[in-house]
Structure formats: structure tokens, C-alpha cells
Structure 1
Amino acid sequence: MAADDAQAAVLHRDMEVAGPRVGRPPRVSAQAIIEAAIELGLDRVTLKQVADHLGVGVATLYRHVRSRDELLRMAAFRVVLSRRMPRSQPGRAVHWAEVALGFAASLYETFAGEPQLIHEMARGRIGPDAEVDFLEQFLAELKQHGFSARESIRLHHALAMMAIGAAAGALSLSGAAAAGQPHDAAMRRVLAERDADELPEVRGAAAEFLNINPAHWLLALRDLLAGFAQARGETLPEQLFGTALSDP
């Protein structure tokens, strides 16, 4: 597996020296590469196997992915999103808020479970290739519920920003705890170091602030969806979040 990344580095170096490629366009797309990796199995797939499966050389793949690790992240992203989005079936209508909740939950779980994804996103390395097909399904499903394209995109962006932000926050809490500096202990230390008459509002809210539960982002998600529903003259289904969600 490491050989794939080493070969990628050599090829990218040669590309930079030679300048932009000219001639015929690539014979495969990023979508085809991702789908081939999923079909072959993400646990042990190599770039050579994907190239052989598509009938191209490994060098062609590097036009779209930098390494096996990047391909696996893109493919895993696609798999998780696809699994979590509820869709209307014959005899069972799905409320639009169920679609939105499934999308948000899948994003949160994906980014919280793979911290490197946030790093890659910050560096501009996660493009639309892994998401665009899922977005098509999302827009098509909401269209059935009377959403305009503008409404659907606004909801999509709001869900993504909230879910990814919540995942980053959860990673921060778990990272601090793993480093031996849990958030609550650090906050107590900061307050103890300041004069007793400083930060009165923070001290008054300390009980809430010191007991942060990463799952509380779902409360904000509920309010977000309720706002969209209200704007449409609707209310959310009572059991949308089940019995697991309650105000702290």
C-alpha cells in the first residue's frame, strides 16, 4: 500500500517538472474510479487493481486522486452518505425532514469518525466528486416535497455547515481528553487563574459550559429543521428524532 503513495509522489514531481499535460483527456472520471474502488472492496483495494479493473494505467488515476488513502476517503465518504439518506419507496412516503436528518447525521459521523477529512477539506482537497451523485438524490427527493432548487441548496448548505462544525467540536473535545487536558478541567483552571470578580457571566454559566455533550448538536439541528418547516407553514413529525433527543 505504501508503494502506491510513493509512486504518486514520483509521478506528481514529474508532472510539475513537465508542466500541464496536453493531448487526449483522461479515459476515466473520478466517479468511475470511486465506484470501481467500492466494487472491488475498500478494505484491501489497491490503485493497480482499480486501474486494471478500468482498463487504464495507474498514472491515469493520478489525474484524479493523489494516493490510495485519498481514494479510500472519497469512496468511504460516498458509501456513508448513500447508506444514510432515506428515500421514498412505493407505499412509504418519507418526510423531507427525514432526508435532511439522514444527510446531517451521515456527515457528522463521517467527519467525526475520520478526522483527516476535516484537514483535507481545510486544504481544499475534498472536491465534489464524492458528493455530487448524493446531492443529485438529495435535490430530487426534496423536489418531490415541493422544495425549489434554491430552498434545497440553502438547506443542504445549512446542514453541512452545522454537521461538520459539530464534528470538529466533538473532535476537539475528544482530542483534548486524549492529550490529558479535558475541556472541563482546562476551563476550571482558567477560571481559577483569573480574579474572582472577573468573567461573572461565564462563571454563572459554568455548570452548563463544563458539561458539554457532543450529542447536543442535535438540539440545534432540530431547531434548524423546525425553522425551515415553519417557513413552509409546516411542523416537524413528532417522532423525527425518536426518544433519544431531549433538552438537557
Structure 2
Amino acid sequence: MSSTRIRRAGRKTGPKPRFTREDVINAAVELGIDRFTLGAVAAKLGIATSAMYRLFESRDALVDACLAQAAAEISMIMLDDELPWPELLRNWAETTWNICEKYPGLDITIFQYTQSFSHVQGFTQHAMGILMAQGFARSEALFALDFIGDTVLATHIGMSAMQHSPEGMDIVARTITELSAETLLDNRDRWNPQRGFLDAKVEFIIAGLRQQLGQRATEKT
């Protein structure tokens, strides 16, 4: 990270305060990556908006920096080359969810900024290598990671929206109860008030992939 510092504007006495690139990124993250404005970030830091342009030429540049910081945390995860592929995919789902929780607005922003995926390219290639070593074709490995990632992001967006609407959560809870009674399926056991049906969705995807790999193994024998 750059240690470049520039001085705040507006104070004429005493030590001159400073702010860093990291200060700007963290302020944007706290405000929400999908909704911050440069003016709001500047106000949070107590500086002039124009001062930030020495570090970030535009809002998009600051968004990209926020995405890069989030991706760096994902890339720091140690991938065990011996980890069974179902556990790798579960870990990928859990990591994606947790990073969305830590970085408000990240889920929506990832879909809005296609360049965001470039920040996790190294991690993705490593994970694909582990999957391919366990029988996945290259295209299947990429599909599995992408499918899990998209499922987590979409679920997080939906759950975040519902959690901001108590009425919406009540409607969903009642609907699940009614469907459980009508279909004799205990869907309530799969429902999590914070994560929805995420864990069940991930297991459904893993089951489908396991079946596909098993069919291929059978065809080869």
C-alpha cells in the first residue's frame, strides 16, 4: 500500500492533520461501496473533496481500490492443495459471504463493475488447479467457482434487502411455514434468518457436481 500522505485543508493552527490512501478507502467502505460519494467521504475525513483527487482521479478509481482491498483479504486465504473439493467450495462460499458482510455494498458493486473479477484472478486460478487435480475439467472448475460465488452474492443481496424490511422478513417466514406444511418438507430447518437458504443451495450445487463427476468416472470404466 502507498504511504503517500497529503494534508487536510481548513486548519491553520497547530499540527497539520494528514490522511492517507488507506484512510480514504476505509471511509468509503464504512459508507458503503455501492453508495458512497466523494463528498461524503471527504466530509467523513474532515477534508476538502478536491484534496482526494491527488490520490483518486474519480469515484470509479476509489471503487476499484475498495474492491482490490477486499480481494486482497480473499487472496490471503491459504488454499490447501489436499483439501477435498467439496470443502474447498464450502470454504469459498463462506469466505465470499463473510467478505460481503465486512464490506457493505460489495455484493452489488461486484455485479456492476466487471473489472472486479480481475482482482481475484490469482486466487481463482489456484482454486481451479486444486479442482482440476481432483477430476474437474478446466471449464467445470471455473463454472463451479463462478456458480458458487454468484449464488452467495445474489443471496446476500436478497437477505440484506429483506433485513432492512421487517415486513419482508415476516412474509418470507410465513411463506416458508406454509410451503413446509403443504409439501410435507421441513424447509424451516434449511432456512437461516441471516443467510436464507444459502447453505442448502451450496449443498445442492455440490451434490450436482458430485453426480456429474461420478457419471464421468463410470463412463470411463
What TM bracket, shorter-length normalisation? 0.5 to 0.7
CA distance in 1, matches of 2:169, 2:146: 29
Q: Which residue of 2 aligns with 1:115?
A: 104
Matched, 1:66 2:55: no
- Which structure 1 segments of 5+ residues have no match? 5-40, 47-57, 192-200, 235-248
The letter for the 2-side match of 1:174 is: Q
CA distance in 1, matches of 2:66, 2:122: 17
**Root mean square deviation, CA, Å:** 3.8
Q: Which residue of 2 aligns with 1:183?
A: 169
TM-score by length of 1: 0.52
Q: Summarize the alignment of residues 86-235 of structure 1 with structure 2, pairs less than 5 Å apart.
A: 86-88=79-81, 93-124=82-113, 126-177=115-166, 181=167, 183-184=169-170, 204-205=178-179, 213-215=193-195, 216-233=197-214
Q: CA deviation at 1:135?
A: 1.0
CA distance in 2, matches of 1:62, 1:98: 41
Q: CA deviation at 1:121?
A: 2.7
Q: Secondary structure at the match of 2:80?
A: coil
1:111–1:118 contact (8 Å) kept in structure 2: yes
C-alpha spacing 1:187/1:129, structure 2 compared with 1 (3 Å)? closer
Q: Secondary structure at the match of 1:147?
A: coil
The letter for the 1-side match of 2:193 is: N
CA distance in 2, matches of 1:202, 1:219: 14
2:67–2:106 contact (8 Å) kept in structure 1: yes
Count of aligned pairs: 163
CA distance in 2, matches of 1:144, 1:42: 40
CA distance in 2, matches of 1:187, 1:228: 29
The letter for the 1-side match of 2:194 is: P
Quick one: percent identity of the two aligned structures?
A: 13
Q: CA deviation at 1:221?
A: 0.7
1:142–1:152 contact (8 Å) kept in structure 2: yes
User: Per-residue CA shift, 1:5-43, capped at 9, x if unaligned?
Assistant: xxxxxxxxxxxxxxxxxxxxxxxxxxxxxxxxxxxx996
- Which structure 2 segments of 5+ residues have no match? 7-19, 26-52, 182-186, 216-221
CA distance in 1, matches of 2:108, 2:143: 24
Q: Which residue of 2 aligns with 1:12?
A: none
